[in-house]
Chains A and B, each alone.
Chain A
Amino acid sequence: MLKAVFYARFHPERGPSVIHQYPETAINVSTTEKKSSLLDFSNISSYVIPVYELCNKPLAICTNGYRVLGFPVSLEDEKYERNRFTYNVCFILDESADPKPWERIVSKTAAFFTDLEATEGLLQTEERLGGLKWAGDECYPADVGVLYSLLETVFFELNTYGETCVMVTDLHVLNLRLASPAPPHRDVRHWDVPLLIRALPNGDDWTYDLALRQINPHINGVNHVQKVSELADVDIDLIIKTIRGLLSHGRIMLLDIFHFHAIYALTADFASFVKDDALQEECLHYVAKSSSEQFPSGYELITLYRSLNPGVPVKDFYLAHESRLVNIDVRRFITFGVIKGFVRRIHKYALSVESQAISVGGSRTSGSPSKAVHGLDVDADDRNRAWRKAAFSSGWATPPLDPSAGERDSGNAHDGNTPAVEGGTATQNSAELLKYLDGQHCMDEICVALHMSEKQVMERLRGTEVLYFNR
């Protein structure tokens, strides 16, 4: 809520002075008498009209429980006395109110005033009008000039409607709108799956972005960003930019890649899903196959969702509940939970132990209880590592990560399911793969980046010291 708005300038004789303010008694401009007002101008005059170095950028000061947002402007021209004209249009808020949404309004107003002065000399002209009263004068305000009524309109309309449109001259229209800057969205990544949550306007009625027009048919909640880029033949950076725009307008959501090896788990929000009959109803309509004659009950949905456990991939979940899932589209079943936030994807990460294990090698002496307990194939690992270590230290050629990897790759190339990985590029690919093994990159990312399936990646990594963990 705007408490007051005022226009002040540096006057060659009077010094920093308030010319107009609304409400009329918001600021006490008198230095001698104490009036009931929001604040004393004398306290903050050096912040309203600061030194030149601080002009032409925003400057805000708090005093007396209020926050004064200003944007002091200093224009330099020979036509002005002392070759300078310094003024500020300030907005006063409660100190506890969030100033962020107002910052752009303040700077836009400052730019508007600058424009008024630069093109029409309006600010200076108004002061020469006969009968103009300054704030604090007797009989203020006089019905002279446009600035007082401008401030009045801005004050009223911003407080009432959150926006304002004031026409000062035919050419000068001040449009202001109070809007909180959108919270920053997380980065759009190549392996995110965009899903429209509000339909885009019809392309015939509305001309939108060429990239958006191009990718629109491919955004279906299944294709990931990189795939959309490939299908639509649009540069991926353009797509990311477009999706970011849609995100900020709340028209799109980012999901993960759905596949049957993926693991999903519930979140604490599941409790509210269980209590919310309307949400269950919505879910029923979303997940039921169109061909199905019989809708599952809300209780059945709850039972199915409850069976999602960390550690159980969708494949196993499906097999275990096949009969119950007859009428349910599993992808939509999972996606609904993800959209509503009561299901979350557990990503698989790969961590190469090479760098880690060598530093902690001492902990893996034979006979440690871990081996017996966890049944890890430590012997093979040890052999492998010893061999690789010997290879590195003796200057042999870098041992292949997996002798059979090349063959498998060429075999895969013939499947046609995934983009071909030629045997020749396998080594290069492996080198690239190594970059992703720091535990920071999830398997989806690796697969999308290398155009490989999870199975292929795992096979490529077989025999190397890589730990997989879900989180």
Chain B
Amino acid sequence: MSNSSVPLVAILLIVHSRPGPKLVFQYPANPEVQTPLHAEDGQRHGHTTGLGVDSVQRNSAVEGSTVEKATRSQSISNPTDGKIFGLSVDTLERVLSPGRWSDRKKFEVSLSGLTFVSHPVYADREGRWTKSRHDRKASPEASNDRSSTAANFADQSTARDGEHEATADLDITITEPPENNIDFSHVAESFESGNALSLGVSENSGSTTSAVTAEPLTAFHVLFALDSSAPSQPDRVNVFYEQLAKKLSQALTYCQKQSSYVGIESRRLMQMQSRLKQENASNGMLCSRSIEGSELAWALSVIYDRVRNASVATFRLNGMEMSLQIQHVEDHNLSQCSAILLLDDRDTLLRELSSPEQSPLAYFIRHSTPTKSLQKQAAKLGTPVRHLLQFAQHLIKWKNARAIAPLQPRNTYVVHPGTSLDSLEGLATDYASRFAVLPSLPQMLKILGGRPVKYGQLIPSRDHRAPYMDILAYLIRHNLVERLSTFGWLQTPAQLSRRCTSDAELNENQRPPSVSTLLSPLLRPQADDDTASVSSERTAVPVFPGGNGRLPAAAKTKAGTGPKFLPEAARMVRDPSNPTDDDLSYLQCIRAMIRDDTLRERLPSLSAYFDGQTALEDIAAREGLKRSMLDSWLEMLVDDGILVTFRHV
């Protein structure tokens, strides 16, 4: 699900201490302003202009030792010149370091086609990260505890009491490398430097710009660099701020308060930087080594890669799991009539759950089907539908599912107008492995891209129903096909007027059934005593005053006395939810024409659906009717000329 419209260009981590601001980490190593064609699996293979340092060295991929080898081999020929986005690191650090006025507020600066947005967090004026009340109370103990605290800060993340909080803010002066106790699974075995983390490194690297100091951290912020040259979308920066920058910053602040997390991680990164710079390593190498060596750097790289792919970033901060994403607001069409289409394999989703066996969500995932509405599933599973809606909302929010109209063999599906066939080859292979003995993907596209037919007609036998519905779900999941829906309005048919006027002279028993119903004396003008208000030409449709319900037989005696002027042409009820007086009389007339008793009964509640905007395919689910029955009703209405329809996707 690569999304080329995501404007994210890079993520930067800047920390402040007394000597000044410091760019500790940036990802990717060589940011590109234009979006690469495919940004998948952490690989960048764009062909765009690098704004970064060594533009030759493009593959700043993060995973696997092969990548590391590649970057290593390239790094020799690509020494850095210290420029990012065409600016010196020094300038960038300065311009991206607002004053204390930006503390815990939105910070946004735009320069040379880029907008940087972040949520800076400052320590208090004394440089402390936790409240001084705890500090004072716990400090004697804390000083005893200092060395062990540093080594055990990972455990502290669970501790909530003031004592540990207090010690945490003293950790800034740690002298022990703490990484032995950190539990993060991604640390590469090649990370060779337990001892290199000691602060001694700063002495060796005094000549480089990245001298590592033991200065306490006074502020930090993670900046999201966005391409702002694109046409204006004022909300876009805010979306990145609210959904990524702010949330991440709040999480990091928590970790920093708990265990000086940001301070420790950034120091680790700076040490790594200064060492690698001495070895003349390239930016790319620096970047990949940072990611291997620091949980925070890893998290930032995951956020970048996932957000660029419009998917969910899941990572760990200080051992605690966190997920971030840019949410789209399009999925508001979830209702109890919708079905849930899982966007990933059931097993994959179940594996991602922490307790796949017991959790109700797992139960829901295991039993969800795109062919049944949530309402029906709730009945089947014996769960309240609001629970299912919650599960569905959760799955949709985290991009694991989509709300769709339940898949139905009675519906017509056609190739999606916006189908991108870029990835068709890969899909065809994947498809073939799933549906081995069924028509191939191109065949299915051909059929569904031809003259529209009901999907059920493609299913050769009852036994094929399940696999064919699976195919349909697959096609919908990959946006290859879409439902062709039917919409319609009710009308009084044109011939009605002609027949009615002539019929008026006929004997009652000679009339054709439908018209006799219509003209049956059951109907009288709506405004019985005020015929003047009803325009004789347009609205003299006989109407029974009550509006609904059976009509009294006694009224039959008035057969010939009803008004005989009927609409010359067919009259459509174009807005049934706000009917005019005319519309009401048409509806009455239409109702009288209906042959099926049940349908006639239900018409008042159904008529609102015939507004040209509600898909007729959805009526059955909304009204809790059997689809086959509804279809036969609609067919009857169309045959009688009462329902006019059109179709679109």
A: residues with CB less than 8 A from B are: 40, 43, 46-47, 50-51, 53-54, 57-64, 67, 95-101, 180-181, 183-184, 265-268, 270-271, 274-275, 297, 299, 302-303, 305-306, 308-312, 344, 346, 349, 351, 353, 355-357, 359-360, 362-365, 368-370, 372-374, 376, 438-440, 467-471
Complex CA–CA separation, A306 to B87 (angstroms) = 60
Q: Enumerate chain B residues within 8 angstroms of A357, measured Cβ to Cβ.
A: 440, 442
Produce 1/0 per residue, B206-242, CB < 8 A to A.
0000000000000000000000000110100000000
Produce 1/0 per residue, B127-138, CB < 8 A to A.
000000000000
Given A359-B425, A369-B438, A369-B460, 11 new contacts (CB under 8 A): A53-B91, A99-B234, A306-B645, A309-B452, A344-B417, A356-B424, A363-B432, A364-B440, A365-B437, A370-B438, A468-B450
Q: Are B446 and A467 in contact (CB under 8 A)?
A: yes
Q: Are A297 and B414 in contact (CB under 8 A)?
A: no
Q: Are A54 and B110 in contact (CB under 8 A)?
A: no
Q: Name the CB-closest residue of B to A368.
A: B437
Produce 1/0 per residue, B555-588, CB < 8 A to A.
0000000000000011010110000000000000
Complex CA–CA separation, A100 to B613 (angstroms) = 36
Q: Are B575 and A438 in contact (CB under 8 A)?
A: no
Q: Are B109 and A43 in contact (CB under 8 A)?
A: no
Between-chain CB contacts (< 8 Å), 28 pairs: A43-B98, A43-B99, A51-B91, A53-B87, A61-B98, A61-B108, A63-B102, A64-B101, A96-B234, A97-B234, A265-B647, A270-B612, A271-B487, A299-B572, A310-B649, A312-B451, A346-B417, A349-B449, A356-B440, A356-B442, A359-B432, A360-B440, A360-B442, A370-B438, A438-B421, A467-B442, A467-B445, A470-B414
Q: Contacts A184-B231, A468-B446, A470-B450 given; indicate if A372 touches B439 (C-beta within 8 A).
A: no
Q: Are A469 and B445 in contact (CB under 8 A)?
A: yes
Q: Are A363 and B645 in contact (CB under 8 A)?
A: no
Interface SS majority for chain B: mixed
Q: Enumerate chain B residues within 8 angstroms of A370, measured Cβ to Cβ.
A: 438-440, 443
Partner of B111 from A54, A266, A362, A368 at Cβ < 8 Å: A54
Q: Enumerate chain B residues within 8 angstroms of A180, measured Cβ to Cβ.
A: 232
Complex CA–CA separation, A96 to B646 (angstroms) = 42
**Chain B proximity of A52: nearest CB distance (Å):** 9
**Chain A proximity of B621: nearest CB distance (Å):** 20
B455 at the interface (CB under 8 A from A): no
Complex CA–CA separation, A50 to B446 (angstroms) = 61
Complex CA–CA separation, A369 to B419 (angstroms) = 26
Q: Are B94 and A46 in contact (CB under 8 A)?
A: yes
Partner of B646 from A40, A306, A363 at Cβ < 8 Å: A306
Produce 1/0 per residue, B286-314, CB < 8 A to A.
00000000000000000000000000000
Produce 1/0 per residue, B99-113, CB < 8 A to A.
101100011111110
Complex CA–CA separation, A175 to B133 (angstroms) = 60
Q: Are A360 and B447 in contact (CB under 8 A)?
A: no
Produce 1/0 per residue, B604-618, CB < 8 A to A.
000000011100000
Q: Enumerate chain B residues within 8 angstroms of A59, measured Cβ to Cβ.
A: 95, 109-111
Q: Enumerate chain B residues within 8 angstroms of A266, measured Cβ to Cβ.
A: 646-648
Q: Are A355 and B425 in contact (CB under 8 A)?
A: yes
The residue among B106, B425, B436, B450 with the most chain A CB atoms within 10 A of its own CB is B450
Q: Are A58 and B445 in contact (CB under 8 A)?
A: no
Q: Enumerate chain A residues within 8 angstroms of B98, measured Cβ to Cβ.
A: 43, 61, 63
Interface range on chain B: under 10, 10 to 19, 20 to 34, or 35 or more? Answer: 35 or more
Produce 1/0 per residue, B452-488, CB < 8 A to A.
1000001011001000000000000000000010010
Q: Name the CB-closest residue of A to B646.
A: A306
Q: Are A374 and B447 in contact (CB under 8 A)?
A: yes
Q: Are B449 and A471 in contact (CB under 8 A)?
A: yes
Partner of A265 from B87, B438, B448, B648 at Cβ < 8 Å: B648
Q: Name the CB-closest residue of B to A269.
A: B648
Q: Enumerate chain B residues within 8 angstroms of A310, measured Cβ to Cβ.
A: 414, 452, 484, 647, 649
Q: Enumerate chain A residues within 8 angstroms of B572, measured Cβ to Cβ.
A: 274, 299, 302
Complex CA–CA separation, A47 to B99 (angstroms) = 11
The residue among B98, B422, B448 with the most chain A CB atoms within 10 A of its own CB is B98
Q: Enumerate chain A residues within 8 angstroms of B438, measured Cβ to Cβ.
A: 363, 368-370
**Chain A proximity of B499: nearest CB distance (Å):** 18
Complex CA–CA separation, A268 to B442 (angstroms) = 28
Partner of A471 from B108, B419, B489, B575 at Cβ < 8 Å: B419
**Chain B proximity of A130: nearest CB distance (Å):** 36
Q: Contacts A54-B91, A181-B231, A310-B484 given; indicate if A60 touches B425 (C-beta within 8 A).
A: no
Partner of A183 from B231, B432, B464, B644 at Cβ < 8 Å: B231
Q: Are A62 and B106 in contact (CB under 8 A)?
A: yes
B431 at the interface (CB under 8 A from A): yes
B269 at the interface (CB under 8 A from A): no
In the complex, the 5 A-B pairs of residues with the closest C-beta atoms, listed nearest first: A469-B449, A370-B439, A271-B612, A100-B232, A311-B451
Q: Are A373 and B460 in contact (CB under 8 A)?
A: yes
Complex CA–CA separation, A183 to B233 (angstroms) = 11
Q: Are A50 and B95 in contact (CB under 8 A)?
A: yes
Q: Enumerate chain A residues within 8 angstroms of B234, measured Cβ to Cβ.
A: 96-99
Complex CA–CA separation, A98 to B484 (angstroms) = 38
**Chain B proximity of A144: nearest CB distance (Å):** 33
Q: Contacts A54-B91, A357-B442 given; indicate if A471 touches B437 (C-beta within 8 A).
A: no
Complex CA–CA separation, A176 to B613 (angstroms) = 46
B184 at the interface (CB under 8 A from A): no
Q: Enumerate chain A residues within 8 angstroms of B231, measured Cβ to Cβ.
A: 100, 181, 183-184
Q: Name the CB-closest residue of B to A97.
A: B234
Q: Enumerate chain A residues within 8 angstroms of B204, measured Cβ to Cβ.
A: none
Partner of B109 from A62, A184, A297, A351 at Cβ < 8 Å: A62
Q: Enumerate chain B residues within 8 angstroms of A98, measured Cβ to Cβ.
A: 232, 234
Complex CA–CA separation, A320 to B63 (angstroms) = 62
